[in-house]
Structure 1
Amino acid sequence: MSFTKGLSAFPITPMNANGRVDTPALQRLVAPLAAAKVDSIGLLGSTGSYPFLTRDERRRATDAAIAEVNGRVPVLVGIGALRTDEVVHLARDAKAAGAAAGLLAPVSYTPLTGDEVYELFKIIAGETGLPLVIYDNFATTHFTFTPQLVGRIARIPGVATLKGTAPDADAIADHLKQRRAAVPAGFPIGYAGDWNVTEALLAGGDAWYSVAAGLFPQSCLALTRAALAGDAAEARRLNSALQPLWDLFKQYSSLRVIYAAVDTLGICDAKPPKPVLPLPDAAQDRVAKVLKELALS
């Protein structure tokens, strides 16, 4: 089973106000993902609020999720942190727990250079032996991965794939072409950014790293399978049906919307980590209305 292709589902990490992970609630979130047979689970991604958690809490979350999945689905674990030595520890923890790979974003306070990010990947791959996913998420890290830098990092032994952010439909073909030209032949390129991913998959992207799939795996699997099979009409039909959810994501942020959805569906009592606040009541009502209308699964 390859974690570099298909649908990767990214759940939230339920925690209390002190940052203590609610491991039973997390297991209730990941169990349906494994049962649905998503291609991988993206634990402690941006939706999983990894920067808000201590090393110990990340380890508790990883152990609980991997125990629940029990080998049915590969689990990718976020290992980004400010200091390289912290990332080394987190990568070793993830590997010891049985993670298939580490999601490595260049977290920073002082803006990083391309050489610094390259060196980060080289050190983590070389010192830990954990396969790595290049985690390109400018919206959270404010670091720009050029195609040339992606190509350099992709040639580091142990770097397995790229998780990029899908641009608008009119730009995706060129975006993908530039990255294909920079990386070694056969190097997988996947995309996040749920509302733009359908066109990215149809253009030749290998994987969808999905926020929505962390709660609605069946609906997202159907779209993924159609797009990867080249059934553009069906993929676009399914994507169009999800447009009300994408509109909420774009207006309020996918993180806040998914927390509201978890609350609406009664899965667990989880609030986003402060200073992020839950959606106001009127927005919560909009989320509930959309979920009812779409009847997602």
Structure 2
Amino acid sequence: MFTGLSAFPLTPMNEQGVDENAFTRLVEQLATAHVDSIGALGSTGGYAYLSRAERTRVAQLAVEAAGNVPVMVSIGSLRTRDVLLLAEEAQKVGVKALLLPPVSYQKLCAEDVFSLYETVSANVSVPLCVYDNPGTTHFEFTDELHGRIAELAHVSSIKIPGVPEAPHLAKERVERLRGLIPSHVTIGVSGDVFAAVGMNAGCEAWYSVIGGLFPNTALAITRAALSGDAHEATRLAERLKPLWALFRQFGGSFRVVATAAELRGFTQHPSLPLPLRTISGEGRKQIAAVIDALELS
């Protein structure tokens, strides 16, 4: 399940709780589009803002709504104790894989992080995906640390935060990491701006934010890249430059995609946990214009 398009849906929520109906509809849309896997409760899914009970409930809803599409959920938490509890509960509701970010308040060192993955890998029975995203966890993996972790039981994929924009540099970056990890461990690119160049450079998966809302658009890029049609994948990705520009303008993809979900009627406003807010005013009009012009689906 660690190849192709892994679509990461929002978890619509407000101060009263999770909008279960809206979340279920989002997951059903992904299953209908035949994405390769669903990554619930990732950063796009707002896992850090939910209680353990809420996260278990969302994992259950995702599994129920996904049908035959395998579901992966994040088990990131500040304490290893809580990570293990989340892993146990997620496995009980039937997830097929676990996504593990090294969440911290105090700064973690490499041995802290290795110990986390070592402990979790020894206490789970489903595959693990390593979540490498310094923008949210504030921890930077080295390729050497990835290599050590990739040797652990159940570790099956590494979700890297992006690649250099130049194709030859992207290929060098992916090949360096590939040389340090076992052949059965896949490399998946995240950071949607880098998806096409990452897959063209050898990444086997795309862990996608826009795929969680506009799966057909993301699938077209994924299928082109993984079939070897680098030119078409690049063309389709470059067509989305106005969307990538919005990500840069508003400090990342999360608020933009959440705003787009409200605009398209997938979710109700408000759909983010306070103090986070979707984009209003002229910015909201910009987003509406771009997603309509690009005919995202």
Amino acid at match of 1:225: R
User: What runs of 5+ residues in structure 2 fail to find an aligned partner?
Assistant: none
Inter-partner Cα distance in structure 1 for 2:64 and 2:184: 32
Report the equivalent of 1:4: 2
Report the equivalent of 2:13: 15
Inter-partner Cα distance in structure 1 for 2:199 and 2:14: 36
Say whether residues 1:214 and 2:212 are aligned partners. Answer: yes
What is the TM-score when the length of structure 2 is the normalising length?
A: 0.96
Residue by residue over 1:139-172, the C-alpha shift from the partner in whole angstroms, topping out at 9 and shown as x without a partner, is 0011011001000000001111101111232232
Inter-partner Cα distance in structure 2 for 1:55 and 1:13: 14
Report the equivalent of 1:38: 35
Inter-partner Cα distance in structure 1 for 2:185 and 2:291: 37
Give yes or no for contact 2:155–2:185 (8 Å, CA) kept in 1.
no
Inter-partner Cα distance in structure 2 for 1:266 and 1:186: 40
User: What runs of 5+ residues in structure 1 fail to find an aligned partner?
Assistant: none
CA shift at 1:273, angstroms?
A: 1.7
CA shift at 1:224, angstroms?
A: 0.4
Inter-partner Cα distance in structure 1 for 2:185 and 2:163: 20
Give yes or no for contact 1:14–1:25 (8 Å, CA) kept in 2.
yes
Give yes or no for contact 1:21–1:60 (8 Å, CA) kept in 2.
no
Inter-partner Cα distance in structure 2 for 1:156 and 1:137: 20
Tell me the secondary structure at the aligned position of residue 126 of structure 2: coil
Amino acid at match of 1:244: P
Amino acid at match of 1:292: D
Select which of 156, 164, 169 maps to 1:168: 164
Percent of residue pairs identical: 44
Residue by residue over 1:97-124, the C-alpha shift from the partner in whole angstroms, topping out at 9 and shown as x without a partner, is 1111111000001111111111111111
CA shift at 1:65, angstroms?
A: 1.4
Say whether residues 1:80 and 2:79 are aligned partners. Answer: no
Amino acid at match of 2:14: N
Inter-partner Cα distance in structure 2 for 1:247 and 1:39: 27
What is the TM-score when the length of structure 1 is the normalising length?
A: 0.96
Residue by residue over 1:234-265, the C-alpha shift from the partner in whole angstroms, topping out at 9 and shown as x without a partner, is 11111111111111112212110011101110
Say whether residues 1:287 and 2:287 are aligned partners. Answer: yes
Inter-partner Cα distance in structure 2 for 1:179 and 1:185: 11
Inter-partner Cα distance in structure 1 for 2:200 and 2:194: 11
CA shift at 1:174, angstroms?
A: 2.3
Inter-partner Cα distance in structure 1 for 2:207 and 2:123: 26
Residues 118-267 of structure 1: matches in 2 within 5 Å? 118-170=114-166, 171-252=169-250, 253-267=252-266
Q: CA RMSD in A?
A: 1.1
Q: Number of residue pairs matched?
A: 293
Aligned structure 1 segments of 4 or more residues deviating by more than 6 angstroms = none
Larger displacement relative to structure 2 (172-181 or 50-59): 172-181
Residue by residue over 1:251-290, the C-alpha shift from the partner in whole angstroms, topping out at 9 and shown as x without a partner, is 2121100111011101121422222222131111000000
Give yes or no for contact 1:7–1:224 (8 Å, CA) kept in 2.
yes
CA shift at 1:17, angstroms?
A: 1.4
